[in-house]
Structure 1
């Protein structure tokens, strides 16, 4: 089968979702109001609350939510066949992710840009808020600790990516000044910035950079992780316009161009999908596709982390409420396009079915490696790019996605500590520097305390990321649904996705309980129980609130 069919059907479906379905949701369900005064204007401080051009904000939101997850998840999930992964990514983007992301922005903007965790306290109740914020903290801890490892390994495995990955930071700092001080127009800055980034990608393989195998007793991976967290700590304290916005914006453009190149190579080279439509020859010990497919592919279909970004940083920068459709829903479409590219690279980037089966010999195989190698083969065959340059381009794409997510993730973790300080009256915790210090410390304790000298401790709890993340998405949809019911608006457009998502996630958590018990992994077993109990408690609290408001709405209309 030609990969062109997947590309045209997938991108066409997501484009139709944005043009028609998102407009319906924005106008008739969320009722976005252009005249509503957003928190970016109400609380403008030049640091966190900054009214932002919607294209720049889209770049921030898109690259922050994308990360490496929409590459890793789909490139692993194709082990069940390309059709299940394809259908979940396309329909998940249209009916789940876009509605969730736009809704999270709307809910936060309507409540002084509070995070979805703090918002739960006002919409549902204090007990639900306390439990919900623990789940949020766990998700951020997993994302930040693991992405540090992912980026470190990418830089070690491809030293040619070091110059473009770190060079992008310098480019972003310059662009931030040019845009903020209105020295040049956005169009000129965008073009020049993208050209410089691609020049760095071309130069990168010629000047590979590697760290010593041992530095003060630390491995190269551990050294990279410390450098990444030091950078992320500084970035999380700087005003958003100085680094976060321009870095995400220019990376978003560069990454979007990368997707265009990859899809263009598919259209020109017309590679064949060698993986099976539905794999009936699964390797031994491959888990059941249902419910695991829906938590293996999180980002790219729907992800709770998106709600954290939407209500954590994006809502504080939204210039007009109506921009939530472009930033939120179209940001989800951008991520869906990346997930679709990962599926194509991991199924059509191999010479034969035997080559594909050799890589997918066990569940968990594929991931970023399959995306980079498969995508590089497609770029080389379709556009004639040098294989090494193509591999560097895709490695930089993955690293930049992960890096921008880590930037935003650490800032969000800082917000969580600050919100805890506000909730419990701890004044010093409400300040940026102590909160950032605690955020970094918690990540490093997990990384080095659980993982030893190489700092890979985040990987220890990563098996729970998919279920915890999807649980967070379901609970975010619950909060949005309660708000819709309170406002006497139709709630089925969020209620149906959240019921499906919570059902799949709770089944996956129960399935993982058995897996951890059989393996004797008592740490993950205990953590799984904590997440499961938290899920049940928040679901019960939200359901009770939902039913109460529903009865009140019915009583007032009768």
Structure 2
């Protein structure tokens, strides 16, 4: 219990200390006009208040990731707490803040456009493919997961296919309408339910004195799976998630002032980490070890969610908690498809004011997603995890390049970027869905690849700095 409470305390302290430091490094300009005010189109660029933006951002980023991921990560033992706490403070929240704020500085641009501007044109095409793939996987996973939970709650009252169909209908409507029509109105209410359900579980852990394991670095995974790199892909949302880089630009187009960025982007990532801590602790205390592993293997993490909610909060409170968990993926799935539509529209320069233009992009996306729902959930999750953290790695390098070109401390982004480069390279070299190499060889290949990426980053940063200096010299010469 001490470890759990200390971890929650560190997350809160991190927001007020390191979050403030990151904001200072970035250099907020209160008088600067944001895209919500200068690019208003009544569809995606719509000014909204800080509280509403914060709750929308939380629901956008908090799918089943900060619940399912920590539940599966709990198998590793309390070492998972370390990744949630330090990953969120020094990587995840920095990632979310920088992608949101850099987007604000670039007319609400999405990650592919930012990657093209700061890492080169080739990266724009690479990241565009990565982002759309990731969002399709997220949207699909966030259809099947809540549909399964609803189907269990209804005890066979209706078919799973029908529930999936209804969720898709909602997604189509929410993706197509202006952001303030559905998302801007109902998300604050859903956000309140999410927070209440998480606080209910967390409060029950404290009041009942739940036997949460204390801190140890020992790997407790029943199957002996290695902490590195698997833990850092298993727990993504709640610590660091590339999916967030696709969501922050949605809110960068509705944020009215730059000074609101720390609350909206950094703060909501910390809030998500608190939610992740609560569910990881609950899973450890109630189903620790083999029992938890067996339940996940047999029925998936959704079964753990239902059991934890009912045991901790009773039938009524437990049902409300499960509803909160169902809302999480649905409210991330719709914005996943919305973000995919916006990214494709930006890539092909298709204006989104007319509904016909929105349908032209959205319909093919939904058709592909319907096909993907036929695949096994665990297979989808494996591809999602790697694509997700690879996107996070790229987004952190974008943030580092932006800060470096501004002559600011890029280490707040380049250090976590380096770590995640090693993680993602190691995973894809070793995993069966990747190259299937032995782990020692995967470590070596990942280390070489990471060094190459660092070298390319340093080379491009120095080259761009020299170009900027030449440009400044030319401007001075003209003035003279």
Q: What TM-score do the two structures reach when normalised by structure 1?
A: 0.76
Q: 1:502 pairs with 421, 431, 437, which one? A: 421
**Superposition pairs of residues 5-404 of structure 1, within 5 angstroms:** 5-27=2-24, 29-81=25-77, 83-159=78-154, 210-211=157-158, 220-273=159-212, 277=216, 282-284=221-223, 286-311=224-249, 313-350=250-287, 356-361=289-294, 367-379=301-313, 387-404=314-331
Q: What is the aligned partner in structure 1 of residue 442 from structure 2?
A: none
- 2-structure distance, mates of 1:15, 1:498: 23
Kept in 1: contact 2:149–2:302 (CA 8 A):
no
1:488 and 1:553 in contact (8 A); partners too: no
The answer to whether the 8 Å contact 1:117/1:136 transfers is yes
Note closer, same or farther for the CA distance 1:544–1:141 as it changes in structure 2 (3 Å cut): farther
State the shift of 1:540 in Å.
8.0
* Cα distance in structure 2, aligned partners of 1:441 and 1:248: 26
Indicate how the Cα distance of structure 1 residues 124 and 483 shifts in structure 2: closer, same or farther if over 3 A, else same: same
Deviations 1:338-374 (A, max 9, x none): 1001111101134xx6xx5223249867623223322
Q: Note if 1:549 corresponds to 2:460.
A: no
Deviation at 1:552, TM superposition (A): 5.5
- 8 Å contact from structure 1 (residues 76, 364) kept in 2: no
Equivalent residue number for residue 415 of structure 1: 342
- CA deviation profile, 1:14-33 (whole Å, cap 9, x unmatched): 11111111111112x11111
User: Could you report, residue by residue, the CA deviation over 1:272-292 in whole angstroms, capped at 9, with x for unpaired residues?
Assistant: 1269955666434x4211111
- When the two chains are superposed, the root-mean-square deviation of aligned CA atoms in Å is 3.0
1:464 counterpart residue number: 383
| Deviation per residue, 1:452-492 (Å, 9 max, x gap) | xxxx4665432121111011011001111111111111111
Q: What corresponds to 1:203 in structure 2?
A: none
Contact 2:137 2:384 in 1 (8 A): yes
Partner Cα distance (1:401, 1:256) in 2:
11
Aligned residues: 461
Structure 2 distance, partners of 1:223, 1:536, is: 50
Where 1:405 maps in the other structure, the secondary structure is: helix
SS in 1 for 2:258: coil
User: Contact 2:41–2:353 (CA<8 Å) still a contact in 1?
Assistant: no
Residue 253 of structure 1 deviates from its aligned partner by: 1.6
Deviation at 1:7, TM superposition (A): 3.5
Other structure's SS at 1:322 match? helix
- CA deviation profile, 1:303-351 (whole Å, cap 9, x unmatched): 001111002x11111110111100001110111011001111101134x
Contact 1:349 1:378 in 2 (8 A): no
Q: Is the 8 A contact 1:43 1:49 kept in 2?
A: yes
* Separation in structure 2 between the aligned mates of residue 69 and residue 426 of structure 1, nearest angstrom: 29
- In structure 1, the residue matched to 2:440 is none
Q: Quote the Cα distance in structure 2 between the aligned partners of 1:406 and 1:26.
A: 29
User: Could you say what secondary structure the match of 1:349 adopts?
Assistant: helix
Structure 1 residues 24 and 279: alpha-carbon distance in aligned structure 2, compared to 1, 3 A threshold = closer
Counterpart CA distance in 2 for 1:118 and 1:556 is: 23
- Indicate which of 371, 383, 399 corresponds to 1:445: 371
Shift of 1:243: 0.6
Q: Distance in 1 between matches of 2:355 and 2:185?
A: 28
Q: Is the 8 A contact 2:28 2:258 kept in 1?
A: yes
Q: Distance in 2 between matches of 1:80 and 1:15?
A: 24
Q: Secondary structure at the match of 1:283?
A: coil
Q: Tell me by how many angstroms 1:267 deviates.
A: 2.5
CA deviations over 1:246-295 (Å, ceiling 9, x no partner): 222211122112222222222221111269955666434x4211111111
Residues of 2 paired with 1:152 and 1:421: CA distance? 33
- Any conservation in 1 of the 2:64–2:329 contact (CA below 8 Å)? yes
In 2 relative to 1, CA 41–514 (structure 1 residues): closer, same or farther, beyond 3 Å? closer
Structure 1 residue corresponding to 2:395, chosen from 472, 476, 494: 476
1:510-525 superposed matches below 5 A = 510-513=429-432
**Cα distance in 2 between the residues matched to 1:419 and 1:535:** 30
Deviation string, structure 1 residues 478-527 (Cα, Å, up to 9, x no partner): 11111111111111111111001111111011111477759xxxxxxxxx
Secondary structure (helix, strand or coil) at the match of 1:48 reads: coil
CA–CA separation in structure 2 for the residues paired with 1:310 and 1:515: 29
C-alpha distance in 2, partners of 1:142/1:389?
A: 33
Which 4+ stretches in 1 moved above 6 angstroms? 425-430, 534-541, 553-558
